[in-house]
Chains A and B, each alone.
Chain A
Amino acid sequence: MNHAARAGSGPQDNNRWLSPENHAAVLEVTARLKDQPGALLPVLHGVQEALGYVPEGAVALIARELNLSRADVHGVVSFYHFFRTRPSGKRIVYLCRAESCQAMGAAALESHVKQRLGVDFHETTDDGLFTLEPVYCLGNCACSPAVMVDEELHGRMTPERFDAWLKAAREAS
């Protein structure tokens, strides 16, 4: 593989080959967190917070800094639903699929949201604004159905309220 040919040939490559800025950002996180016991999850959270995801290219670097194998790091990244290996949209919409929300119409809400955003779960809208993710309980079960956008929680969501929220969110972006 020719590294030079890959670099700059599209956004996908940023995933496999870390840019100097991202490389530095990962090192900043590992330097800050690697000495605590069981550092890998805090480090991965730190990297995802800094870059928005954990690029494939960061795995070897994290492994080196934490004295782990790449398989160890890859295994952990791929085990946990929260860690993403591709960039997300500007905002992440977490839609609860669990029982309490099911009892209050989550399935209908799910079809509505997918149709309105034009995406399925784990996909990002064409304008790059929203990524839709399923979630299994947000602890908002007394106000079902629940949706969380980044860290902003919404209760008793209905298709109409979602549309109103979406309109405002689109206008604000």
Chain B
Amino acid sequence: MSFTVYVPRDASALSLGAEATASAIAAEAARRGIDVALVRNGSRGLYWLEPMVEVAAPEGRVAYGPVQADDVAALFDADFLHGGRHALALGPTEQIPYLAKQERLTFARVGIVDPRSLDDYRAHGGYRGLENALKMAPADIVAAVTDSGLRGRGGAAFPTGIKWKTCLDASADKKYIVCNADEGDSGTFADRMVMEGDPFVLIEGMTIAGLAVGATQGYIYLRCEYPHARDALNAAIAATTAAGYLGNDVLGSDKAFHLEVRMAAGAYICGEETSLLESLEGKRGQVRFKPPLPAIEGLFGKPTVINNVVTLCSVPGILDKGAAHYRDFGMGRSRGTLPFQLAGNLKRPGLVEKAFGVTLKELIEDFGGGSATGRPIKTVQLGGPLGAYIPPSRYDTPMDYEAFAAIGGMIGHGGLVAFDDSVDMAAQARYAMEFCAIESCGKCTPCRIGSTRGVEVIDRMRANVERDRNEALLRDLCQTMLHGSLCALGGMAPFPVLSALDHYPEDFARSA
């Protein structure tokens, strides 16, 4: 009898020892003469339980975790291959509350399928969206995406269908689909997880985008900090090309779509769409003026759809299950789901895909389980290094783009970093300016110079040098950056600074 055992190949699981666990299982099975087929899946996103091992049982998959290599022999002794009892047993995977309470649309297959197997992808509903799209007129594909209410998941939340429509309506001899996989925001890892755990869904999403707007070439601009995602994507591109899903004649449709992974080189600013295009063209990643919009004049001057990984990965499901299915999740003008990433000082960090409308409190407490250190959570930074620090009084705010804009915050890419009460908010404000100075592309003055001046002014405040006068100066500087910067880096770096100052003034030294 053969047993199927799943051990993630997700980078974070590997960072906790998953490779050694997998080797130990293979070795122990061989030693005992048991036939075990190891599947290296993505992560389910329950990172405090990684490396999480699953066994395929007749009634569904059963989980154990966290399993280190030296736990393996005991698991065999406990007959884990038949779901045996053991201290690390977690029961049926799908019934673990953290997972059971989620609404997984975009992440439906992540952690379930073998990311190296196209057959497995197809067996779990993969490529049904593309098959539908191939029967539709381009304008109808765009209309479906518009009707779904999908908005850009990279952070800007621009309606995806409108972007696609602009590109469709532009006439040119060549158009491009560019995937922004330069996921540089601290506290975010959804792009990485889906690219490693279900790379085919991104390829399918980009192919559908190509059909929708008439683009024949796609690029995935991937950050160089993600070597595991690079390998997963390249393997998936090779498999889909060999099977006829990519190439000059996609599934016999007479339509071409080619796809290539391009590696970034460690510049945070290249997550901004126009500097990303500059970088893809082989230049310094400096921000472009808009207009022209990339959808009209983008990569190499041609109409270009540029979308985030999660946005593109949401498209196949919309084309498969229909726009209404996706739109029925969510609240207000925030439709569908968002994969929230719970990071920082939390007991149960991980990925939580939920419909918009879930509150920050539910994410931090019900899912996150409070702080890992056991101390009170003082603040949560939402939306990456340019996101505001949210105080506990605002934890009831529902996750909705407009609701957070109204309190001076932003959901961004859905990353959430919790800090306990040992954090010094003035140090965090200083870091925001320091980071902006390190990563500024240098094109506009408020960002290039303002960020460095910002560090200096905060240093003076912390040293109680003319504290109040320097606070006025800092606020004034932030206004200049907010309104005078060319892109979101300089234009949003004041968010963490001002929110720290507004909600935690006591952390900024004051003269006695």
Contacts and interface: CB of A to CB of B under 8 A. Distances in A.
Interface of A: 37-42, 44-45, 66, 72, 75-76, 79-83, 94, 98-104, 135-144, 146, 148, 151, 153-156
Among B192, B265, B350, find the residue whose CB has the most chain A CB atoms closer than 10 A.
B265
Interface in B404-446: 415, 417-420, 423, 428, 431, 435, 438-439, 441
B280 interface: yes
Which size bracket describes the interface of B in this complex? 35 or more
B283 A76 contact: yes
Contacts of A37: 281, 300
A81 to B, nearest CB: 4
A137 B431 CA distance: 14
Given A136-B439, A140-B12, A98 B186 contact: yes
B431 A99 contact: yes
Given A137-B184, A141-B188, A156-B16, A104 B372 contact: yes
B227 A42 contact: no
A140 B351 CA distance: 12
Interface stretch (B27-35, B132-140, B326-334, B338-346): B338-346
Given A40-B283, A143-B12, 17 more contacts: A38-B280, A38-B282, A41-B264, A41-B282, A42-B263, A45-B224, A76-B282, A79-B285, A101-B186, A102-B431, A104-B372, A139-B11, A139-B12, A141-B186, A142-B12, A142-B341, A144-B343
Interface in B265-281: 265-268, 279-281
Contacts of A66: 282
A141 B281 contact: no
Contacts of A141: 186-189, 341, 343-344, 349, 415, 417
Contacts, number: 157
A139 B415 contact: no
Contact of B186 (A39, A76, A137, A151): A137
B381 interface: yes
Nearest to B225: A138
B274 to A, nearest CB: 14
A99 B15 CA distance: 19
A80 B278 CA distance: 13
B143 to A, nearest CB: 31
The 6 closest A-B pairs by CB, nearest first: A40-B282, A98-B186, A80-B265, A141-B343, A155-B15, A82-B266
B394 interface: no
Contacts of A135: 225, 266
A48 to B, nearest CB: 9
Contacts of B438: 136
B15 A41 contact: no
A112 to B, nearest CB: 17
Interface string B242-265: 000000000000000000001111
A75 B284 contact: yes
A137 B186 CA distance: 5
7 contacts: A38-B280, A40-B283, A136-B435, A139-B183, A139-B226, A141-B415, A142-B351
B186 to A, nearest CB: 3
A143 B428 contact: no
Given A100-B344, A103-B423, A142 B284 contact: no
B50 interface: yes
Interface string B109-149: 00000000000000000000000000000000000000000
A83 B345 contact: no
B280 A143 contact: no
A94 B224 CA distance: 12
A47 to B, nearest CB: 12
A80 B266 contact: yes
A41 B262 contact: yes
A156 B346 CA distance: 12
A75 B286 CA distance: 11
Contact of A100 (B186, B263, B420, B428): B186
Contacts of B509: none
Nearest to A96: B186
Contacts of A81: 265-267
Given A38-B282, A76-B282, A140-B189, A103 B345 contact: yes
Given A38-B280, A76-B283, A99 B265 contact: no
A45 B189 CA distance: 24
A38 B264 CA distance: 12
